[in-house]
Amino acid sequence: MTNTPKSPDSHLLSPLHLSEQQNTRVSVSKTFQDLRSYSLLVRQLSRVEIRAEFRRSLLGLGWMVLVPLVAVLVWVLLNQAGILNPGDTEVPYPAYVLLSTSVWGFFAEIYRACSRIQEKYGRLLLMTPFPIITLVAQAVVVHLIRFAIPLFLNVAVLWLFGVRFGLAALLFPFALIPLLLLGTGIGLLVSPLRIVVADISRMADEGIRLLMYLTPILYSPKLEIGILSDLVAMNPLTYLIGFPRDLLTNGTFFAPFYFGFFAVLSIVFFLIAFRIFQITEPRIRERLIAN
């Protein structure tokens, strides 16, 4: 047996990118560089996510239209039965619910997708390493596509309900950005917790569900119901959902100061959450063995 030299002349060697990066923080510029280098993977994974879901379905993408349609029909029926007292809404109640649930879904679905990134793709990352930023980007891309398709239907239904859109409605997609960042940020914080502290992630899931009842989705923000009204007034989602909704339906600005305030907070929150997600991600990969 011949022993291999243990300390070869290492003048050709320089610190390996892998070892350098593994135990240090991933820089912002590296994140953007990774996103650019792996843009094809973002496209491929987005395509897989959307097409795989409907590939074996006869209705295919029709499900994207059918599900919100059924939801609004249920609420219209409940309204006609006089069960609901939604408070004063400036547009017909079914139109109000249709749009509100859709905007709520915009928030809740991106939370759901981002909060499960490591649970869903962790094993794959152990087998085929690639930058996790691609999975975040894919979650956002898929989410936007899934939201855009029923949104066109919603706009058509709103038109039938007599809602007329002004020029301000064009700002609607931009007004959704803070909501997207807030949902993504919360999801990215919950994602690692889902692996190491499952109790907290479960609480977060329940919290998001509870938050829906504290947000004027099925009722008007003007509805006076004691302490609930105070909670609604303190809830950032009241403004982050109410502002784009009013922009689209009335062309008015709902509580612009609070919207601006919470929008800035959402951006800051997202940046912090994304950084924490990046820092903790390698630790989570190691713990995936136990899952």
Partner 1 sequence: MEKQPLIQVSGLHKKFSSDLRRGLLHGAQDMWRDIVSPSRKNPGLRKGEFYSLRDINMTLYSGEILAIVGVNGSGKTTLMRLISGIYNLDGGTITSLPGLKLTAIFALSAGMQPLFTGRENIYIKGSMYGMTLPEIEAKVPFIESFSELGDRLDRPFGNYSSGMKARLAYSIAMATNPDVFIIDESLAVGDSAFKAKCMDNLREFVNEPGKGVIFITNHIRKILKVADRLLVLDKGSVIHEAEDVGAGLEFYINNCNKHLGAEMQKNKLAVIKSYEL
Q: Would you count residue 122 as binding partner 1 (CB under 8 A)?
A: no
Helix (H, G, I), strand (E, B) or coil at 116: coil
Judged by CB under 8 A, the residue of 18, 58, 227, 234 near partner 1 is 18
Q: Would you count residue 58 as binding partner 1 (CB under 8 A)?
A: no
260 with 179: CB under 8 angstroms? no
262 with 236: CB under 8 angstroms? yes
| CB of 148 or CB of 268, closer to partner 1 | 268
Q: Would you count residue 196 as binding partner 1 (CB under 8 A)?
A: yes
Amino acid at 241: I
What whole-number distance in Å separates Cα of residue 254 and Cα of residue 41?
Answer: 39
Site for partner 1 in 148-167 (CB under 8 A): none
Stretch that binds partner 1, among 89-97, 125-133, 173-181, 210-218 (CB under 8 A): 125-133
Q: What's the min distance (Å) between Cβ of 33 and partner 1?
A: 12
What whole-number distance in Å separates Cα of residue 241 and Cα of residue 215?
Answer: 8
Q: Would you count residue 59 as binding partner 1 (CB under 8 A)?
A: no
Size of the site for partner 1 (CB under 8 A): 57
Q: What's the min distance (Å) between Cβ of 111 and partner 1?
A: 20
The string of DSSP codes covering 80-96 is HTT-------SS-HHHH
267 with 178: CB under 8 angstroms? yes
Q: Would you count residue 31 as binding partner 1 (CB under 8 A)?
A: no
Stretch that binds partner 1, among 20-28, 63-71, 83-91, 250-258 (CB under 8 A): 20-28
87 with 223: CB under 8 angstroms? yes
State the maximum Cα–Cα separation within the chain, in Å, rounded to a whole number.
89
Q: Would you count residue 126 as binding partner 1 (CB under 8 A)?
A: yes
Q: Would you count residue 124 as binding partner 1 (CB under 8 A)?
A: yes
Half-sphere exposure of 231 (CA within 13 A, CB side): 11
Stretch that binds partner 1, among 150-158, 194-202, 219-227, 244-252 (CB under 8 A): 194-202
Half-sphere exposure of 95 (CA within 13 A, CB side): 19
Binding footprint of partner 1 on the chain (CB under 8 A): 1-6, 8-10, 12-19, 21-25, 37-38, 40-41, 43-45, 48, 51-52, 55-56, 123-130, 192, 195-197, 276, 279-280, 282-287, 289-290
